[in-house]
Every structure is written in C-alpha cells, then in structure tokens.
C-alpha cells in the first residue's frame, strides 16, 4: 500500500504544476477601439502603458524622436473605407501609427503603409500621412488612451491622450459618395427603399426621399414607410398630407402593436401637426 502511494503522488504533483497558469496584470495593457462614423469603421489597436510617476515627454520619450505611439508592438489604425487626411487620399486598410513629440512646437502624427513597421525599420518613403498637430493640455491620464470623437457622416477625429497631453488627427469621410454608390445598387424590397428614403430625408434631399418612399409603399404598404412618408411631407411643408400619412401609419401600427416601435413618435407628431 505504501509503495503504491509513493508511485501516484509524484505524478499528481507533476500534473498540477504543468497545468496551473499564473495570470497577472501586464505593464502595458492591450486595447482595441472601434468606432463607426458614416459608413467607415475606424479601429485603433494598441498597447497602453502607464505613467507611473515618470516624466513622459522629454523624459521617457525624447523630443524630436519617432515614437511608435504606444507600447510593445506597433500601434495600428484600420479604415474600412477610403478616407482623406490632410488633403491626401488614404485607401482603406491598416497603417502603423507614429508620433514625434516636440518641445514648444507642433508634433507630427504619422501613418505608415507598412502595418508592422517599428521605430527601427520605418521608412519615410512609406509614410502615407505626416501631419503637424498641435498638442493641447488635458487633465492627467495615467494610461495612454486612443478614442474617436466628434464624428458624423462627414468627419471624425482620432485622439491620443497620455500624461497631460492630447494630440488629434482629423479624418474626412467619403460617406456621401459611398452612400450614393450603395443607392445605385438598391434591392427591390420595400425595406431598402424605405431606408433609402430615410437617408435622403436626413441629408435634406426631399424630392428623392419622396420618390424612394413612394416606391417602397408600392412594393408593400406598411406603417413604417407611411410614417417615413409623413416625415418627408412634413419636411416639405405639406402639413395636411403629412398628417394624413401619419394617421394611416398609426392605424396600421395599432393593428400590429408588437412591431409598432415608433408608436410614441407617430402619436406625438399627430398631436403637434393637428395644431398646425
């Protein structure tokens, strides 16, 4: 019995030692930020170091020296569609990111076409964008962080913050051109035409919106496209017709209440438009 116990015990200890894994926080944490602006997904993939009481600018990072804009491997930005930066066309794809901090003058924000480029092997000839950006003071941020802010269908801004500094890279989007191309490939369904009408209404093209929604209703008469038509007519100043279309939308929606997800909006519009 004793011999058998001595035989099993080492195997048991070996199994526990080989299978146990120690997981601890890393000095620079992995981060991925994705934001859709218009029809473009902007994704920033980076590692986030901490200040840890150190002097960052002019200390840990020398002024006038290229920095990989993060820790560990290259910081990368990916655009799902073509964009424009500093007046230059930037094709959809992934780019490595570099920043050159400077003391008392504008910094450089660089995108390089070699996604895996590092500080030691980056070539100026591969830079797609090299933009002068003005650093601004912000409250202390312990860990480096990227974000995409101030975005709409036409533009977005990529921001990097670390320690007490922020630098920003404006990005111009091609949403209108991309949307027009998509509209030329409409499927012959009421939902597609209704969505096209809603977009045309949003960008202020009321005549096109009315044409799209009329086709949608011809394909399938639904509360949703009647509600879209009501909004288009209201934007065109045709209040009586708008009220009639909204009334029809409410009647059809009340007949199928489970899917009537704009019920409150329709009822509010009817209340307001009746006064007009």
Domain total for the chain?
2
Strand partners, 94: 78
**Is residue 171 domain-shared with residue 36, that is, in the same domain?**
yes
Residue 162 in any domain: the answer is yes
Rounded Cα distance between 174 and 44, Å, is 19
In this structure, are residues 210 and 233 in contact, taking their beta carbons and an 8 Å threshold? yes
CA-to-CA separations, 18 to 7, 8, 13, 25, 270, in angstroms, rounded: 18, 16, 9, 21, 70
* Alpha-carbon 142 to chain mean position: 24
Q: Are strands 93-100 and 107-112 parallel, antiparallel or unpaired?
A: antiparallel
Assign residue 248 the CATH number of its domain: 1.25.40.10
Three-class SS state of 47: strand
Residue 20 in any domain: the answer is no
- pLDDT of the residue at 19: 57
- pLDDT of the residue at 18: 52
Residue 194 in any domain: the answer is yes
- pLDDT of the residue at 22: 81
**Is residue 105 domain-shared with residue 242, that is, in the same domain?**
no
Q: Residue 72 class from Cβ within 10 Å (0-12 exposed, 13-18 middle, 19+ buried)? A: middle
Three-point CA angle 252, 255, 256, nearest 5°: 100
Domain range for 197 is 186-275
Per-residue pLDDT of the chain (276 residues; tens, 9 = 90+): 444 444 444 544 444 445 578 877 777 789 999 999 999 999 999 999 999 999 999 999 999 999 999 998 899 999 999 999 999 999 999 999 999 999 999 999 999 999 999 999 999 999 999 999 999 999 999 999 999 999 999 999 999 999 999 999 999 999 999 999 999 999 999 999 999 999 999 999 999 999 999 999 999 999 999 999 999 999 999 999 999 999 999 999 999 889 999 999 999 999 999 887
**Is residue 162 domain-shared with residue 245, that is, in the same domain?**
no
Residue 74 in any domain: the answer is yes
């Amino acid at each position: 019995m004793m011999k058998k116990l001595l035989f099993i015990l080492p195997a048991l200890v070996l199994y526990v030692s080989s299978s146990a894994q120690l997981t601890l926080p890393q000095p620079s944490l992995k981060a991925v930020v994705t934001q859709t602006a218009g029809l473009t997904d902007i994704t920033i993939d980076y590692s986030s170091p901490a200040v840890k009481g150190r002097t960052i600018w002019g200390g840990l990072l020398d002024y006038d020296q290229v920095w990989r804009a993060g820790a560990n491997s290259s910081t990368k930005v990916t655009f799902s569609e073509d964009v424009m930066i500093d007046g230059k066309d930037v094709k959809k794809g992934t780019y490595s990111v570099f920043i050159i901090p400077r003391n008392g003058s504008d910094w450089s924000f660089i995108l390089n076409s070699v996604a895996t480029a590092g500080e030691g092997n980056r070539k100026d000839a591969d830079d797609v964008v090299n933009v002068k950006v003005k650093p601004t003071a912000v409250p202390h941020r312990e860990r480096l962080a990227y974000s995409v802010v101030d975005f709409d269908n036409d533009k977005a801004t990529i921001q990097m913050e670390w320690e007490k500094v922020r630098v920003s890279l404006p990005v111009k989007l091609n949403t209108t051109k991309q949307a027009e191309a998509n509209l030329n490939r409409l499927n012959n369904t009421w939902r597609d035409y209704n969505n096209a009408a809603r977009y045309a209404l949003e960008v202020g093209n009321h005549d096109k919106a009315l044409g799209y929604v009329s086709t949608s209703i011809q394909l399938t008469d639904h509360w949703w496209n009647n509600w879209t038509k009501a909004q288009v007519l209201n934007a065109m100043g045709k209040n009586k017709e708008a009220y009639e279309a909204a009334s029809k939308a409410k009647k059809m929606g009340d007949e199928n209440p489970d899917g009537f997800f704009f019920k409150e909006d329709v009822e509010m519009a009817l209340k307001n438009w009746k006064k007009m």
